[in-house]
Structure 1
Amino acid sequence: MDASPSRRSASRRSPSRPAFRQPRRPALRQPRGRVRRLLPSLAAGACALALAAGCSGATPAAAPAPEASASGTAQGSATRATNDLERAYQAVINDVLPSVVQIDASDSLGSGVVYDDKGHIVTNAHVVGDEKKFKVSVATGEAVLNASLVSSYPEQDLAVIKLDEVPDALKPAKFGDADDVEVGQIVMAMGSPLGLSSSVTQGIVSALGRTVSETRAGGGTGATIANMVQTSAAINPGNSGGALVDLDSRVIGIPTLAATDPQMGDSAAPGIGFAIPVSMVRTVADQIIKDGRVTDSGRAALNITGRTVVDDSYRPAGVALVSVERGGAAAGAGLRAGDIVTKIGDTPVTTITSLSEALAGDKPGQKVTVTYTRDGDSRTAEVTLGEI
């Protein structure tokens, strides 16, 4: 199945919200308890019959079968493990949910995470869009708060907004370490999917180091983001900008994308979601809070404007350089407008998206070999990468 990631942006609010009820947990019953209680009396009856028949002595009652004892022990262990995991979930929810907010950006809803005690909230750039003012609702139930945009960084799909007035009960989230995240780790996604505030889903870390590109709502390609955390926790419209957390109550990522399946009419591909890693979240948020903008993206670039070109069979065949920034990476290596880039290192380049993905894992200052065509001739150039 060919699944391509697409933006799961803020969701529109529904006029009414469904009610949910906690299902009652069925009582657990020891299946062999009654058998064990009856064994002594049955044994005593057997002894009485034996004595009446002239037996010189009575045989003691047999112990419960080993299988029964082992089964009861295993069942008890499983029940305790289930209860322990349930309590761990509840502890994380109680700890983290007060730090997850709902962001009302004009006619849409998204999520955010309280970053510090100064009222800064980190969210997705596509949640804030072009808005400058927002209404923020926190899980602890205070009145709706006003917030303003500090800065947005669409290249990494991150933004920071700040509360105009900071309530005393505001609780910043704890942010983890990207190096501690492992495949198979249990995680929970918290946010406001479909406008249902303070919702929680659970899953595992399915993969690390994914490079994915957003699809804009009106078509085209949005941000290309490297080192994404893939998760099976459900990511739905409105979850964007919320928190992906581990069982130590630490934020390890900001949910931003869910995969869609082109074969199913671009409907959601269940169990395939992506979150921006906490290391990038911290890098971007800290710079925005300190300087009001991102001053050091850490993202490599050719410093060009390009477009996808097709071959004689109308298949994508490379990226034509529409313009080359003066003093930029490509210009410094002798590339010029009209050249068609076909490869970065050993990675083929067929579209503007594949070019972004080929550069996503590289760093500014790194040297790469760029293969390109000029006037029908294939050439190569060593390029010292610039910065976005």
Structure 2
Amino acid sequence: MNASRTRAVTVTASLAAALIVAGCSSPGSGDSGESTTQAAPMAKGDLQDGYQQVIKDVLPSVVQIDASDSLGSGVVYDDKGHIVTNAHVVGKEKNFKVTTATGEQTLGAKLVAAYPEQDLAVIKLDNVPSGLKAAKFGDSEKAEVGQIVLAMGSPLGLSSSVTQGIVSATGRTVSEGRTGGATGATIANMVQTSAAINPGNSGGALVNLDSEVIGIPTLAATDPDMGDSAAPGIGFAIPSTMVKTVADQIIKDGKVTDSGRAALGITGRTVLGDDYKPAGVAVVEARKGGGAADAGIEAGDIITKVGDADITTITSLSEVLAGEKPGDKAKVTYTRDGADKTADVTLGEI
């Protein structure tokens, strides 16, 4: 299954925007039939009240972003007017129109910086309106499969929309395509959700019942057997821990200074084998001072494994490296002049 981003209302592939909501307890098994019958409506009412409270708390912090040729969502990050969103929402634009949840005012905003490698960006309002409410960002590492989630954003231009689902999985590594403005990023530790995600949800909020944003909706799965149409109920959100890491650096320094992402220090391309199927990554350049070059890997070598993982494409290499950290050591298997070789590479940083 492939993953495609939700970038604008004109994009047919959908994007994931989900929110994690704490689970509710069920009636005790020791209750009598009568008490169970009475407790069920109360539990339903409590859950509904919980949803409505989360929406009341978080929705004012979710905005719609108009980037002239795309439409997406964003989340108010602080009281200074910084808004975090996806890099593919802002594209190459520098100026934006931002609509608040009430829809009563459209505000101007400018790009602070984008970090396509993680598909994140920060923009800043030209004038901060009174009462602007920053969202509370939680700890995505505490997300658990089965937790209820709400997705907030502007699908198909319908601002302030909310959908509901669960956390379907955590720790997913997903790669974007490079068509239609997608960044081609490979993103690790994504939160998978069943909440309905549609074009325009990109950059919105994934929130839990504690009214905490635990992810930024970014991708939805597509089914190649159905013409790459969206696969219902399979969406992905960038974890809030990474969002905070990137946003804090952009706000402080105007760029990402410490990505925390591992790299071999090469420029590579996918190569095909005799059967015309992807068979490895050819090293186009091994940058001087990089981990690969220091370990003896040269231009023309073909990387076929990192550790025990087979490498067939540049995407598969990116996905493996996404699970590593700068400074880690990796055993790289490669071929040179038809002979297999190995090298212990100390990974650098993107």
When normalised by structure 2's length, the TM-score is: 0.92
1:118 corresponding residue in structure 2: 80
Structure 2 SS opposite 1:227: strand
1:210 corresponding residue in structure 2: 172
Matched, 1:95 2:93: no
1:227-306 paired onto structure 2 within 5 Å: 227-306=189-268
2:8 corresponding residue in structure 1: 10
How much does 1:249 deviate? 0.3
Structure 2 SS opposite 1:127: helix
2:24 corresponding residue in structure 1: none
1:387 corresponding residue in structure 2: 349
1:179 pairs with 136, 141, 144, which one? 141
1:161-172 paired onto structure 2 within 5 Å: 161-172=123-134
Report the Cα distance in structure 2 between the residues aligned to 1:107 and 1:342, rounded to whole angstroms.
40
Q: CA contact under 8 A between 1:12 and 1:107: conserved in structure 2?
A: no
How much does 1:324 deviate? 1.5
Between 1 and 2, higher relative CO (CA 8 Å, sep ≥ 6) is seen in: 2
Deviations 1:66-101 (A, max 9, x none): xxx955432221111111100100000011000000
Q: CA contact under 8 A between 1:345 and 1:370: conserved in structure 2?
A: yes
1:375 pairs with 334, 337, 341, which one? 337
1:311 pairs with 254, 259, 273, which one? 273
Which residue identity does 1:340 align to in structure 2?
A: I
Q: CA contact under 8 A between 2:87 and 2:183: conserved in structure 1?
A: no
1:149 corresponding residue in structure 2: 111
How much does 1:204 deviate? 0.6
Matched, 1:350 2:294: no
Q: CA contact under 8 A between 2:111 and 2:123: conserved in structure 1?
A: yes
Deviations 1:333-381 (A, max 9, x none): 1111100000000000000000000100101111100000000000000
Which residue identity does 1:113 align to in structure 2?
A: V
2:161 pairs with 191, 195, 199, which one? 199
Deviations 1:195-217 (A, max 9, x none): 11000011111111000000123
Report the Cα distance in structure 2 between the residues aligned to 1:197 and 1:344, rounded to whole angstroms.
44
Which residue identity does 2:37 align to in structure 1?
A: Q
1:337 pairs with 277, 299, 307, which one? 299
Q: CA contact under 8 A between 1:193 and 1:237: conserved in structure 2?
A: yes
Report the Cα distance in structure 2 between the residues aligned to 1:6 and 1:374, rounded to whole angstroms.
35
Name which one, 1 or 2, has greater alpha-carbon Rg. Answer: 1
Report the Cα distance in structure 1 between the residues aligned to 2:332 and 2:58, rounded to whole angstroms.
46
Report the Cα distance in structure 2 between the residues aligned to 1:225 and 1:185, rounded to whole angstroms.
22
Q: CA contact under 8 A between 2:88 and 2:182: conserved in structure 1?
A: no
Q: Percent identity?
A: 75
When normalised by structure 1's length, the TM-score is: 0.83
Structure 2 SS opposite 1:239: coil
2:90 pairs with 128, 139, 143, which one? 128
Report the Cα distance in structure 1 between the residues aligned to 2:338 and 2:286, rounded to whole angstroms.
19
Which residue identity does 1:116 align to in structure 2?
A: D
Aligned residue pairs, count: 331
Report the Cα distance in structure 1 between the residues aligned to 2:319 and 2:186, rounded to whole angstroms.
6
Which residue identity does 1:205 align to in structure 2?
A: V
1:55-66 paired onto structure 2 within 5 Å: none
Which residue identity does 1:298 align to in structure 2?
A: G
Q: CA contact under 8 A between 1:212 and 1:226: conserved in structure 2?
A: yes
How much does 1:10 deviate? 2.3
Structure 1 SS opposite 2:244: helix
The runs of at least 4 consecutive aligned structure 1 residues that moved more than 4 Å come to 69-72, 218-221
Q: CA contact under 8 A between 2:5 and 2:182: conserved in structure 1?
A: no
Report the Cα distance in structure 2 between the residues aligned to 1:147 and 1:334, rounded to whole angstroms.
48
Deviations 1:126-181 (A, max 9, x none): 00000000000001334100000000000000000000000011000000012321
1:54 corresponding residue in structure 2: none
Structure 2 residue runs without a partner (length 5+): 12-30
Which residue identity does 2:249 align to in structure 1?
A: Q
Report the Cα distance in structure 1 between the residues aligned to 2:320 and 2:163, rounded to whole angstroms.
32
Structure 1 residue runs without a partner (length 5+): 14-68
How much does 1:218 deviate? 4.2
Report the Cα distance in structure 2 between the residues aligned to 1:142 and 1:325, rounded to whole angstroms.
52
How much does 1:221 deviate? 7.4
How much does 1:231 deviate? 0.6
Which residue identity does 1:222 align to in structure 2?
A: G
